[in-house]
Amino acid sequence: MGFSLLPSSPAFLAVFLLSFVTWCLHPEPILAITRHYKFDVCVMFFRSNIVMLQNVTRLCHTKSMVTVNGKFPGPRIVAREGDRLLIKVTNHVQNNISIHWHGIRQLRSGWADGPAYITQCPIKTGQSYVYNYTIVGQRGTLFWHAHISWLRSSLYGPIIILPKLGTPYPFAKPYKEVPIIFGEWFNADPEAIINQAMQTGGGPNVSDAYTINGLPGPLYNCSAKDTFKLKVKPGKTYLLRMINAALNDELFFGIANHTLTVVDVDAIYVKPFDTDTLLITPGQTTNVLLKTKPHHPNANFFMSAIPYMTGQGTFDNSTVSGILEYEYSHKTIQSSRSPKKLPLYKPNLPPLNDTSFAANFTSKLRSLASAEFPANVPQKVDRQFFFTVGLGTNPCSKNQTCKGPNGTRFAASINNLSFVMPTTALLQAHHFGQSNGVYNPIFPISPLIPFNYTGTPPNNTMVRNGTKLVVLPFNTSVELIMQDTSILGAESHPLHLHGFNFFVVGQGFGNFDPKKDPKNFNLADPVERNTVGVPSGGWVAIRFLADNPGVWFMHCHLEVHTSWGLKMAWVVLDGKLPNQKLLPPPADLPKC
């Protein structure tokens, strides 16, 4: 009997055709879903495990802190690329609250971005707001954090974006995935610390500890039992989703006797490369693969982070450590030594001010730039901007003594303009055509008075103050050079742009040279990210396409510099087509 590929009975044929039609109309199952989360912001009493004075046991003190759902760090958000998120945030505390989904592109959904007084007024006590957005074209790790004052010191948590269902990673499937989120712990209330600093004009007190997943680890007094332990099996690959949620410190991180393979930064895949040490600035995320040793090593390994410090101020010069512990399989003959007695190795981390390590590390980051994950680098530029970033001063008011440099107040600026926060949200002002008296649409595109930015600083360190924005037509292709200044000391500044990823096309030390430096720009496979370190005493060049209408904050992710004014915003106008316009504001958008 013959065999035909096509069915022959009419009934069968009908079913076949019907299923074929159905298949063609829905070529694949509907994969993206909507996920609902509830965030309740509450005060929680938390046993601090850090010694404030001499006596360890007595001084493990109790402090109250603001949390989401009573958790510290806060709850994880897990979603797939393409999913929509509806997150209802209810404020049960006295502080005003707003939550930012750091690194999420927020295509046309700027109302859900979260920075207070930029895209929304804060959520007041007793009120709720539903953040509503869809994750488009991103996969990896991001994080959420409070975006008002210094509340992000305790309000932060991971955002884990898995690839679409059925889409594999562009690397071997890891055996397990582990978020590792760095934070900064203050014995005192961080709100009191920054309020006091803003009053006196001086530098704020530094943190008392760094934390890994909320835990300071054994190198701090009274904290040995508060140590993050990563228990692993030999011969496996683990995906560590690293997040720097610290307020004011860039970090070096390493695991003793283990090499890490970087595969993704800021939720974009990169060309994999091996390194013993990572540099991760506040606002950056890095996915790394950790291959465990083939056999039980009969040792434990510190996983430690220390600050990368370039400025002249005081800083928290302490080390946070977790422990990598190998599990024994029950078939293995147990070592007579209990795990605690195993030798403990420490990683070799660079010196605290190792700027050449930083430059070398960041130059290894390249986009994957494959057919499936192309690097869409803008090849031509419509508008160029040159921004100086750095510190400065404001005068002390009469009858006051200030604790900033030479009796002034510390300030920080972009093109010598220190940003003044408005009292109403910029996005509403823009959307409803009420920008008059709220912001000035003419931000300086380059310094008004050029100087030798990285040479001997000028005598006059005073900044100007104002709320100025750059306005861009839809789809403008932007090139931005950010130049560090030596005013009050050269310093690395991790600049974060909301609403976009950008490509880091060049970086260097000294002053940017507009004739020579662009020739060396990488327009083929530059790393794509949302936060980039402006090198200490150097510059960085980025490009992005302004294809997302809205008002987008850009600021140094060292929170103290944001407080001092190192921030500005871009207005991207609506395009002509219906799908190029900002969506209307949600009905529950908080009012100022």
Please give the residues from 260 up to 319 whose contact with ligand C2O meets the rule CB under 6 A. Answer: 283
Distance (Å, rounded) from C-alpha 435 to C-alpha 202? 33
Instruction: Identify residue 565 by its one-letter amino acid code.
Output: G
Find the shortest distance in angstroms from Cβ 147 to ligand C2O.
Answer: 6
Residue 299 Cβ vs ligand C2O, minimum distance, rounded to whole Å: 37
222 vs 247, which CB is nearer to ligand C2O? 247
User: Given the structure tokens 């410190």, which residue do they identify?
Assistant: 249
Backbone torsion region of residue 276, taken as left when φ is above 0, otherwise alpha when ψ lies between -120 and 50, otherwise beta: alpha
Among 147, 258, 431, 529, binds ligand C2O (CB under 6 A): 147
Q: By CB under 6 A, is residue 108 in contact with ligand C2O?
A: no
Asked if residue 268 lies in contact with residue 138, where contact means CB atoms within 8 angstroms, the answer is yes
Q: Which of 244, 321 has the CB closer to ligand C2O? A: 244
Tell me the chain's radius of gyration from C-alpha atoms: 25
State the residue for tokens 């390194």. Answer: 275
Q: Segment 543-582, which members bind ligand C2O (CB under 6 A)?
A: 553, 555, 557
List 80, 145, 430, 561, residue binding ligand C2O (CB under 6 A): 145
Q: In Å, how far from its chain's centre is CA 533?
A: 12
Q: Is 493 in the site for ligand C2O (CB under 6 A)?
A: no
498 binds ligand C2O (CB under 6 A): yes
Enter the tokens of residue 485: 């200044």
The two structure tokens encoding residue 45 = 């009493």
Paired tokens of 445: 């595109």
The correct pick among 115, 179, 533, 590 for binding ligand C2O (CB under 6 A) is 115
Nearer to ligand C2O, 100 or 105 (CB): 100
Host H or E run for residue 393: strand 383-394
Q: Would you state the structure tokens that stand for residue 124, as one six-digit string?
A: 């007041």
Nearest residue (CB) to ligand C2O, 157 versus 347: 157
Q: Between residues 540 and 568, which has the closer beta carbon with respect to ligand C2O? A: 568
**210 vs 553, beta carbon nearer ligand C2O:** 553
- Of the pair 481, 556, the CB lying nearest ligand C2O is at 556
Show the tokens assigned to 57.
């046991």
Q: How far, in Å, are 111, 202, 433 from residue 582 at the CA level?
A: 9, 40, 14
Cα 163 to Cα 91: distance, rounded to the nearest angstrom: 32
Rounded to whole angstroms, what are the CA distances from 495 to 280, 303, 538? 13, 27, 13
At its nearest, how many Å lie between ligand C2O and the CB of residue 149? 13
Q: Which is nearer to ligand C2O, 258 or 555 (CB)?
A: 555
Of 108, 496, 529, 543, the one binding ligand C2O (CB under 6 A) is 496
Q: How far is the CB of 266 from ligand C2O (least distance, A)?
A: 11
Q: Least CB distance from residue 423 to ligand C2O, whole Å?
A: 18
CB of 259 to ligand C2O, least distance (A): 29
Interface of this chain with ligand C2O, residues 157 to 186, rule: CB under 6 A: none
Binding marks (x or -) toward ligand C2O, 353..372, rule CB under 6 A?
Answer: --------------------
Tokens of 43: 């005060």
Residue 127: CB minimum distance to ligand C2O, A: 22
Closest to ligand C2O by CB, 108 or 145:
145
Give the number of C-alpha atoms closer than 13 A to the C-alpha of residue 591, restricted to the C-beta side.
2
Kindly determine how many residues on this chain lie close enough to bind ligand C2O according to the rule CB under 6 A: 11
Distance, CA of 421 to chain centre: 21
Using the minimum distance from each CB to ligand C2O, give the nearer residue, 105 or 555.
Answer: 555
Residue 15 beta carbon to ligand C2O: minimum distance, rounded to whole angstroms: 54
Tokens of 383: 């508008």
Identify the CA nearest to 443 among candidates 478, 471, 424. Answer: 471
Least gap, CB of 105 to ligand C2O (angstroms) = 14
Question: Closest Cα to residue 142, out of 179, 91, 114, 113?
Answer: 179
Q: Where are the beta strands (DSSP E) in 139-236?
A: 140-146, 156-162, 176-185, 209-212, 229-232
Distance, in Å, from the CA atom of 288 to the CA atom of 260, rounded to the nearest integer, reads 6
**175's tokens:** 């055996």
Q: Which is nearer to ligand C2O, 144 or 539 (CB)?
A: 144
Is 74 among the residues that bind ligand C2O (CB under 6 A)?
no
CA-based nearest residue to 316, from 173, 413, 182: 182
Closer Cβ to ligand C2O, 386 or 553, answer by number = 553
**Looking at 100, 105, 468, 561, which residue binds ligand C2O (CB under 6 A)?**
100
What is the contact surface with ligand C2O in residues (CB under 6 A)? 100, 102, 115, 145, 147, 283, 496, 498, 553, 555, 557
